[in-house]
Each structure stands twice: as structure tokens, then as C-alpha cells.
Structure 1
Amino acid sequence: MKIKAVIAAVVLAALSLTGCSAPSEKGLEYLQEEEYDKAIEEFQKAVDKDDNPGDAYRGIGIAKWEQEDYEGALEAFKSALENGAEKTGTLYNFIGCCALRVGDASSALNYFNLGISQEDNSEELLQEMKFNVVSAYEQMEDWESAMSKLQEYLQEYPDDEKAQKEMTFLETRL
């Protein structure tokens, strides 16, 4: 995922909101500065105060993702959903990517599909999630489904060189 762009978008959106709490603002600043432990600490303060916990958990998830703590990020992102964070394609994609990283391809597939169904997706995010669906099927060793999804993907994005290479790989699996 192109995390730096996601962090910038999250920071800009949060700072444009009125009523954003001090811990969340500080947490966003720490995310931008790549001081992830401090960001987690600030977002946790917001969670503890029950001050927009959904967004605070999302911030914790992003920080843990950047630290490559995928289990921790997965837990935080799920907590974000449970605590009222907006259900966006970006959030579902994060959850799906975390699930893939911890070896739960079946759950990842579900989250990618939920993400694809959201209305807020940019074309770039939609393309990424569709490719991630292929990756989830591959991790499950469901080569036929992976091939089918990759063929659909390549019809939509024929110039994607990474996907073309993936087709060569999948052809060796069937």
C-alpha cells in the first residue's frame, strides 16, 4: 500500500474537522513525523478518554502497520470498525492486507471484497484491492480462482506489468 499518501490524506481530513481532540491531533502529527510509538501513545489516550475511538484506533492501526506489527494493526483496524470508524475501502484494504500478512487469506479475501463494494474508492485503490484478491486466492492455493480473477483484472488493467508476470507464475500452477 502507498502508506505515505494514505497518512497524508488521513492527517488532512482529521485536521480539517472541527472538534478534533488534542491527543488525536498530536497522534496525527507523530504519524506524519514517522514517530510511530509516540503516535500510538497519543491515539491510545484518545481511546482511553472515549474521544472518537474509531478514528483513534485507525491511527493506532496505521502506526502499527508502519512498524510491521501486522497482528497489532489488524486488531486496531478491527477495533476501529467496532468503535464507529467510517467503513471505507481504504480501511477494509488495510484490514485485508494485514490478514494476508498474518496468513489469514480467507478473511483477507472477505475484507478486500467489502472494500471493493465501498463507494468512496479511487480508481487506484480499486485496482489495488482487485489485485489483492488474486493474492488472497494464491495464498489459499486456489489457483483456478486466482487465475480467473487475474484474467478479469488484466481485462480491466492490461498494462499492469506486475499482473502480467503474475499470470506467468499462475500458469505454472495449473
Structure 2
Amino acid sequence: GTVCDAFTTHADMANTFREIAGCKEPDSDMPGRSIVPLLEGRRPDDWRDEMHLQFNGVEVYYTQRTVFTQDWKYVYNAFDFDEMYDLRRDPHEMHNLAAPCRNPIGHDNVPEKRSPDEFQPWPELSQELNEVRREMLGRMWRFAAARDDTIFNPYFTVALTPYGPGSVDYEA
């Protein structure tokens, strides 16, 4: 057997089955694309390099948007601290780089006692991690804008985030 690390989703299955059944063109109204090339050991140059997940909650409360690549995962939590994980170094997502104060006490230099100042919703990050955060949020909001995501709304918890959906150029 072989291992393929290409991102696929259940939305790819319909067009995969259509291609296997001999349909000439993929159905453009269906999301996803055929994974037949991957099954044949070929990876198209334009294969997706990111995946997106969403949970809509109620209005903005409990809303989540997630984007991940082979290297990074970013979770936007409209109701709580965001999450960011280095998937190469931390594949089990145990160390939240976006909000270190949320890591368990005793975990990787987390002190036994914490100052209330540590619990900032948007903590300072190193320049390198801030660049990753900005890139991942850019990917997330471009994806959301292209699909008229309901996350684009006037609620202040969305509108005021530093790299929120308003930071993306998109056609309304």
C-alpha cells in the first residue's frame, strides 16, 4: 500500500464517483473534485494546500472557523481565545501558540501562578508566529469571502479583530 498526504474531503466523493462511472465532465455545481488522480498515484499541481472547517453556533456566539495546512492549524473562536498549532512539532495539538495562557499549568514553561495580564484575548506573539497567524487568518477570510460566509456580520467580536474578515479584499 501507499500513503497519500493530500487533503481530501467527503465533498470530493461525488465527483470521484462520477469520474469512475465515466461521466465526461465534473458537475460544476458540486463542491469538491475527483480524487481519481490521487488513487492513481498522481497529484495535480493545483491540488488544495489547505482545508477549512466551520461551526456556526448561534449568531456569532460559539462560532468557529478553522483553517489548516500540512504545517499549521488556526482556529478562530468568536467566543473565546483563538488557537494555533504547529502541526509538524505538535501533531496532537497540545500547545496553543496563539494563547499560551490557555495551556495547562506545568506545560512547557507555563508558571504555577499566572498574572491576570496573561489572559489577553489577543496576546503578543513573536514576529514569526504573528506572520503565521496573519497568513492563516488571511487564508480563512479569503475562503469565507469567496463563499459568502455568514461570519461577515456587524457583531463587534468579529469586526474588531486585528486580522478579521475586514482585512481581506473581496467583492461584496
**Greater strand percent: which structure?**
2
**Greater helix percent: which structure?**
1
